Structure 1
């Protein structure tokens, strides 16, 4: 495995500047991720006894129960025990649970968390534990219920979990029956190519699915299996035992709603004053909390002196909301703005691993952290990868393609190749022929209509039939060209579908098992053992 760096700039201007021009956005964040002193400064702040924090003992107890229940390994359980020590810190990152772990970027986030925790342990000389936060409280089931793989027919195949749902539960509360699991696994089996690794992979997944009641359990069991030896600690944000530890901050959020709203809106104004666009819509009436009611997760809004969802299904006074936070915190849930605060309250977060869009909206949060006596942790850009297998490398070499050509100008490159093969000249010849024929025939139609007006329609029909015959010959010529160059055209298509499927980066579309079925689990292990440094670059991985 060979790894090369490539500058693939994020679509979000604020994230681009965070990586390549930190000074431009320094006022929006707390620590410079490219300054080595940041870790020691953050660690010193975390060592303060006065900072708001959940009790470590109950946190470790809750984590042990969950991780044991999903079959996480001994290394992770040892890391959980280490969290009881006030010296132990955390690198954290997370994602919504997805079918068969979802797109590759999910695993890359875990790789980043593990690598950053390992390196921070060495730099600081104290234990730093990798933690993966499963956003089980989210309820976007349409985003979580599918994944993609490339079929032998060069089709980007969607594998979907077809399980019934009649309300809007969180991902962790969406019960999946055995028939839906079997159907999803059958779809995956039909899509993945047949290799020596396939039977064992499918058997392992079948066992995991049979033991999983929910999408979150399935996700957690697979992640625990894939990263077993690296001690990645998993936490489900929808775990009732974890929620009980969140009550203190939930209560603070409930009583300081207006201050939180003002802080976020002021941050939005400051961010936009620097020329950036806020990635999250903010309105004064937002409560930035959800409440669970009869199996549904409902967003709360401030309406006068009460908190209610849009339909008025639930309506609470501030006193009732605070009481719920104190007595039944499992009935409350964070939104995108309060989840980072809760992570920092629960864990001694040295650094947080974020994707490009997450880095962008975290630019709104510095003052919100400070409002509750917290401090924004170091924000580390997630490692980005594109996997290039040997066959793709050979095909790119054959067509004289660089990686940048594939992601930015592949159509132009392919058209130039087609022109060199004579295809475009033939297309242009047919186009000119039809144009010239119509120019010559128009006077004929005009002449016969002058003899008899009724002949105009006959002349136009006759002209159209001749044009159709030209089109027919053009189609046959195109078929002959495709037949002559079928192998080459398939190679062009394979390059496109491998690197930029659906017009998006590979890591945002394909499932990891597309590669595990070919190479076993060794490719992921090798990626984890490859020396990587935090630099914000995209990495091309040559198999």
Structure 2
């Protein structure tokens, strides 16, 4: 395994500024994670603010129960023992619970959380526990019900748990039938090449699915299988028992909703004044809380001192909403803007591991943290990787393709065309253009002369010329198709490079599932991932296998 740093376009100007030019956006954030002094400063604040969070003993007790169900590893128990002590901090990061863990970036985020916690513990000489926040309260089923693998026939193949219902239920409450699990596992097995590792992987998925009624359950069990031995603690944000503990924080969010709304809008205005577009919707009347009503997760808004959804299915005064919270805390959940506040109220967060999109929208929460009496934690960029297998690397060398060539779709397409043109010993395009030019040079004067005989022959001659040229173009197309078929092996190499590294014109880590690589290289592949030195910048790196 060879690791090489290569650039990958972020397309997130605000995140780019945070990571590389912090002083230009420091008004939006709290700490510069690249400054070592910020880590100590944050740790000291955590010690001073212990009273602002939910009692850690209660939180740890619930996390023990949850992890015993899905992540019962001795190293996890040791992490929770450490977390129970008043001086311990956490590095946290989260993601939606996708099918078979979803895209590779989820695995990279889990690895980053672990490595960042190890880095912080060593740097601060202090206990720091890694925590993965499973966003089970999210309700967008179509975002999590599928995953992709590259099939042997070079197609980006989707595996999906289909649902006809449009019910907006949190993913952790959306149950999956046994036959749905079996169908998805069977599809994956058919798409993966037959290797020495495939039987064990299919057995793992069968065992996981047997004990999982939801995507979140299976997600937790898989992460526990791979990362539990590193002490990664799992937390499901939709856990009803955890929600009970969070009730006082939700009550504060209701009582102080106006102040929080003002803070979010002020941050959005500040973003725009600095030249950045807000990365999340900040509605003027947004309550930034969800309420589950008759199996549907509804986003709440404030109207004349009352809380309701856009369609008017529910209506509450603030007191009525708090009364409902007291009776049914499991019906409440955060949106992307209040989730960071809840996370910081629940855990002693030293740093949050985020993707570049998340770093951008967290800028909207800075003022809300202050309004809530909290401070935004260190924001740590998730490590980013592209895996290039040995055969693929050989293809790149053969066709003289650099990472820069491949990462730019237009450049790569031109390289492909140039290579194919080099295989054209007949110089088809030049020859056909010459013939077309010679033909029209000879034919146009004749058409003009025919027009002198009869006016209608001029129009007929022009039409006849276009048909002949059209037939020439048809023959050229057929000739180039034949050239492509004669060089199909090379073109297939180009296709494999593009589909392996930028499927659907997206970075590999945002599309493909981990099981493709585990099927090729075994579970040790994840352990090797953890051996890659931690890079606090999170700059994109190539893993050459």
> Which bin holds the TM-score, normalised by the shorter protein?
over 0.9
How far is 1:210 from its partner?
2.2
In structure 2, the partner of 1:18 is 18
In structure 1, the partner of 2:526 is 524
TM-score (norm 2): 0.94
Q: Is 1:100 matched up with 2:100?
A: yes
Conserved 8 A contact 1:163-1:177 = no
- Alpha-carbon displacement from aligned partner over 1:385-416 (angstroms, at most 9, x marks no partner): 01111111111111112212210221232233
Distance 1:163 1:209 in 2: 18
In structure 1, the partner of 2:186 is 186
Deviates more, 1:495-504 or 1:47-56: 47-56
Distance 1:401 1:419 in 2: 16
Matches within 5 A, 1:22-421: 22-49=22-49, 51-408=51-408, 409-421=411-423
How far is 1:430 from its partner?
2.8
Alignment CA distance shift 1:212-1:441 (3 Å) = farther
Deviates more, 1:162-171 or 1:451-460: 451-460
Distance 2:188 2:444 in 1: 57
SS at match of 2:519: helix
Conserved 8 A contact 1:136-1:172 = yes
Conserved 8 A contact 1:163-1:180 = no
Conserved 8 A contact 1:98-1:144 = yes
- Alignment RMSD: 2.1
- Alpha-carbon displacement from aligned partner over 1:120-158 (angstroms, at most 9, x marks no partner): 111222221111011101011111111111111211111
Distance 2:29 2:247 in 1: 27
- Alpha-carbon displacement from aligned partner over 1:259-311 (angstroms, at most 9, x marks no partner): 11111111111121111111112122000000011111000011112111111
In structure 2, the partner of 1:540 is 542
Matches within 5 A, 1:399-478: 399-408=399-408, 409-422=411-424, 425-431=427-433, 433-434=435-436, 437=439, 441=443, 463=465, 466-478=468-480
Distance 1:209 1:459 in 2: 72
Conserved 8 A contact 2:383-2:535 = no
Number of equivalenced pairs:
543
Distance 2:105 2:425 in 1: 38
Distance 2:106 2:94 in 1: 8
- Alpha-carbon displacement from aligned partner over 1:339-371 (angstroms, at most 9, x marks no partner): 000000000101000000000011111110111
Deviates more, 1:139-148 or 1:160-169: 160-169
How far is 1:107 from its partner?
0.5
Distance 2:251 2:431 in 1: 74
TM-score (norm 1): 0.95
SS at match of 2:52: coil
- Alpha-carbon displacement from aligned partner over 1:198-231 (angstroms, at most 9, x marks no partner): 1111121122122211111111111111213112
- Is there any run of 5+ residues in structure 1 with no aligned partner, and where? none
- Alpha-carbon displacement from aligned partner over 1:435-458 (angstroms, at most 9, x marks no partner): 664665566667667767777887
Q: Is 1:507 matched up with 2:494?
A: no
Distance 1:512 1:318 in 2: 45
Conserved 8 A contact 1:423-1:481 = no
